[in-house]
Amino acid sequence: MAKKIQAWAAYGPKIELADPMTKEEVIENIIAATNQSKGSVLAVLAELDVQLEAGLKAGRIVQLPNGTHFEPIGKKDGSIDIGVRVNPDLDKNVNAGFRGTWVNGDNIGKTEAEIVALWNEAHPDDPIPAGG
């Protein structure tokens, strides 16, 4: 018998990722927007990494002026993960003007029962039982 996770994987809405924005493209865009030299942009970004590392290693949350912040998160095995909370305006603006492509976009907002029904209709020989 199939599982609900199979139905969500097959029919759940997800973003189709486009080609990544390369580091070179990011640098070129910053240069164009700020009229700074490539060297100065690279130096500022490198120093940002140094400052983030220093703060996080000291167990500090590092806050950027735009509202983004980085937080060291201790794991049970003694290792550290880094949590990132992006600028809330970035989140809001991406949601308001998203132009990417959705896979299964017609299924946005459908309930679990509706997704399971899509699976069961397409896979009558391997249905997901009610409550399963």
Does the pLDDT value for residue 78 go beyond 90?
yes
- Residue whose pair of structure tokens reads 């949350």 in the numeric block: 61
The pair of structure tokens assigned to 106 is 């017609």
List the chain domain ranges.
Answer: 1-18+103-132
Tell me the CB-side half-sphere exposure of residue 104, using CA atoms within 13 A. 15
What rounded mean pLDDT belongs to the chain? 96
pTM of this prediction?
0.77
Closest by Cα among 98, 97, 115 to 106: 115
